[in-house]
């Protein structure tokens, strides 16, 4: 049965099928090309691990370092990167063609808040019953939304009719 695959670089005796390695010592100095077992013995004398940094080069580049500390620092870097990354969400605002002025203003405040948070906004205009005969009113309403948000947002997808809904997607600038 094959050994389970480990993530991260190979270290010490996990480095197999290599006769020579390019060695970099703990101070970052290039020691040149030397035999694998000679490099491994040097690592054991210093009390560090022989870690394969560039496995695809010829000969592979190995470095003398504390493998436990190296893994810990890599995990910290990955956690910090995950913490800093922002996932862009798509928030939805639903409108109707006959929306009143105050209701419209409340919806626009919500749209502004979504853009400040860095989210995209999907504006959905729903037609019911006889409103389908007056799609031009809905298109005008979406054009008004586009005009009022043009300084803080760009149109990612123009208004388009899908069944009984007209949809437009806006993204923050």
* pLDDT tens string 113-168: 999 988 999 999 999 989 888 889 999 999 999 999 989 899 998 999 899 999 99
19-31 pLDDT tens trace: 888 989 888 888 8
Residue 134's pLDDT is: 86
Residue 1's pLDDT is: 60
Q: Structure pTM?
A: 0.55
Q: Tell me the C-alpha to C-alpha distance, in Å, between residue 32 and each of 26, 63, 156.
A: 14, 11, 54
């Amino acid at each position: 049965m094959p050994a389970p695959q480990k993530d991260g670089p190979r270290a010490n005796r996990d480095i197999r099928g290599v006769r020579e390695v390019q060695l970099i010592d703990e101070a970052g100095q290039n020691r040149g090309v030397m035999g694998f077992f000679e490099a491994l013995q040097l690592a054991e004398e210093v009390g560090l691990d022989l870690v394969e940094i560039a496995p695809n080069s010829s000969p592979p580049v190995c470095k003398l370092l504390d493998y436990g500390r190296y893994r810990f620092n890599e995990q910290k870097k990955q956690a910090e990167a995950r913490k800093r990354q922002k996932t862009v969400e798509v928030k939805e605002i639903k409108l109707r063609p006959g929306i009143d002025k105050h209701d419209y203003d409340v919806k626009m405040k919500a749209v502004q808040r979504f853009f400040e948070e860095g989210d995209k906004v999907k504006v959905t205009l729903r037609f019911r019953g006889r409103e389908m005969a007056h799609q031009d009113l809905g298109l005008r309403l979406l054009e008004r939304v586009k005009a009022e948000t043009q300084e803080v947002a760009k149109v990612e997808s123009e208004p388009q009719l899908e069944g009984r809904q007209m949809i437009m997607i806006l993204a923050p600038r």
